[in-house]
Amino acid sequence: MPQARLRSERLDLVPLAEEHLPFLVELNSDPVALRYLYTRRLTAAETEARMRRWIAGAVDGLGLWVAYGSGDPIGLFMLATPDGPSRPGVAELGYRLPQRSWRQGFAKEGSRELVRHGFEDLGLDRIIAQTMAVNEASRATMASAGLTYARSFHEDVEEPLAGHEDGEVEYEITRGMWRSPV
């Protein structure tokens, strides 16, 4: 199943393609936006290699999307197969916006559309999202998209980021929770 182009009230969500490389390079050049993701800026070559892996890894209607508002791209969204052991019916939500797009409700709006798409169009059973425990903005975005806290865990990494000692959190929403929110 090919990845669908999606619409929300203000956003046009376009499946990630090679034409989006300059936007990904912009995202990977801002240390503030990267502080919970990478210990340093990524080079254009590293970004291109990641983009190619993401595009090649898009399966079953899942993948990454670039969101547009009225002009330049406003953010990168993900609804993809989680890393690790195979978990049929489960997908992982993610999002990353440049600072110029922050605090305007775009991450919430794009995430809600991907959650709807995952359950209504793709027939998923569960959507999860993970972030560092200290990433308040990401945790608030998960909650605003209807996900609730599921668990905390620790990851062994070669280059720990600031806040690594507080661990990671996972949030989730099931199809039942989405249909009948409390």
Ligand X SMILES: CC(C)(COP(=O)(O)OP(=O)(O)OC[C@H]1O[C@@H](n2cnc3c(N)ncnc32)[C@H](O)[C@@H]1OP(=O)(O)O)[C@@H](O)C(=O)NCCC(=O)NCCS
Q: Site for ligand X (CB under 6 A): which residue of 135, 171, 173, 178?
A: 135
**Residue 105 interacts with ligand X (CB under 6 A)?**
yes
As measured in angstroms, the least distance from the Cβ of 104 to ligand X is 5
Written as one letter, the residue type at 123 is G
Closest approach of ligand X to the CB of residue 1, in Å:
26
Q: Are 107 and 72 in contact (CB under 8 A)?
A: no
Residue with tokens 């547009």: 68
DSSP helix/strand/coil, 95: strand
Nearest to 106 by CA among 177, 12, 37: 12
Q: x/- site string to ligand X, residues 61 to 80, per CB under 6 A? A: --------------------
In the DSSP assignment, the letter for residue 166 is G
Strands (E), the chain: 6-7, 12-15, 63-68, 73-80, 90-96, 126-132, 148-153, 168-174
β-strand partners of 149: 171
Binding residues for ligand X, total number by CB under 6 A: 23
Binding mask 114-133 for ligand X (x = CB under 6 A): -----------------x--
Among residues 51, 107, 124, 169, which is the contact residue for ligand X, using CB under 6 A?
107
**169: three-class secondary structure by DSSP:** strand
Segment contacting ligand X (CB under 6 A): 11-19, 50-58, 94-102, 174-182? 94-102
- Footprint of ligand X (CB under 6 A): 33, 36-37, 94-97, 101-108, 131, 135-138, 140-141, 144
